Amino acid sequence: MQLAVFDLDGTITRHDTLIQYVLGYLKTRPWRVFGFLLALPTVVKFLLGLSGRGTLKGAVMHWTLGGSSREEIEAWTARFVPALLARGVFQDALKQIAAHRRAGDTLVLMSASPDLYVPAIARELGFHEVVCTGVRWNGNRLDGRLTTINCRGAEKARRFEALRARYPGIRSVAYGNADSDLEHLRLADRGVLVNGPAAARHEAARIGLSCESWA
């Protein structure tokens, strides 16, 4: 048995899921598009290096999705996830997930994307656990800002180490696609960079990780 940890965006899915999620929600609520204007100050701060990705992500969700009820968000998630899995994922990723399931491995989906929809994706794909970024609610209404550190880079590596500590004595394999994933991929017994950019592939080869292309 192994601990098999998969990143989501760009590893299982072909594109960023949060942007798709937000834009899809706004298509039926076009007046909310103006929320992007209210998020612009945070965008500028991010571009100037004055705030992080987590702050940016929280601001975008706050100003575009904020105030939505749980029922509205859950209804949209129930539409979004099946559509995403039907046409927006790498078939090789699904085959790899299935192979780990047949082997009796423990499957963990670990993503910087928010818990608005990542757990639903994990359930549909048969993962045993989910590690992702938490989003704040005010009672029945979504706030949108983060309740956890954005699960990316050093934070993802920290959570990966905590995950391994909960499964002592078994080998781990981790799959990711971005430069920021190298931090936790190198901690696994076997780290696999999937469809990574050239610079990430070069660094992955230097530190002894595998590189694969999935379609």
Query: What pLDDT score was predicted for residue 189?
Result: 97
C-alpha gyration radius of the chain? 17
Give pLDDT, residue 211: 96
pLDDT for 96 equals 98
Tens of pLDDT along 59-85? 999 999 999 999 999 999 999 999 999
Alpha carbons 68 and 58: distance in angstroms, whole number = 15
pTM: 0.95
What is the rounded (10 degree) CA torsion for 58, 59, 63, 69? 10
Q: Hey, is 9 helix, strand or coil?
A: strand
Q: How confident is the model at residue 103 (pLDDT cuts 50, 70, 90)?
A: very high
Instruction: Please give the tally of structural domains in the chain.
Output: 1
170 pLDDT band, cuts 50/70/90, is: very high
Q: What pLDDT shows up at residue 176?
A: 98
pLDDT band at residue 150 using 50, 70 and 90 as cut-offs: very high
Report the run of H or E that residue 176 belongs to, with start and end: strand 171-176
Give residue 37's pLDDT.
Answer: 87
Distance, in Å, from the CA atom of 20 to the CA atom of 86, rounded to the nearest integer, reads: 14
128-139 pLDDT, tens digit per residue, is 999 999 999 999
Question: Which residue from 135, 107, 109 is spatially nearest to 120, judged by alpha carbons?
Answer: 109
Check residue 192 and give its pLDDT. Answer: 98
Nearest CA to 113 out of 196, 21, 188, 204 is that of: 21
**90, pLDDT greater than 90:** yes
- The whole-number pLDDT of residue 46 equals 86
Report phi then psi at 115, rounded to 5: -80, 10
Confidence of residue 51 (pLDDT cuts 50, 70, 90): confident
Q: Residue 153's pLDDT band (boundaries 50, 70, 90)? A: very high
CATH of residue 158: 3.40.50.1000
Amino acid at 47: L
Provide the residue range defining the domain that includes 101.
2-212
Is the Cβ–Cβ distance between 125 and 97 less than 8 Å?
yes
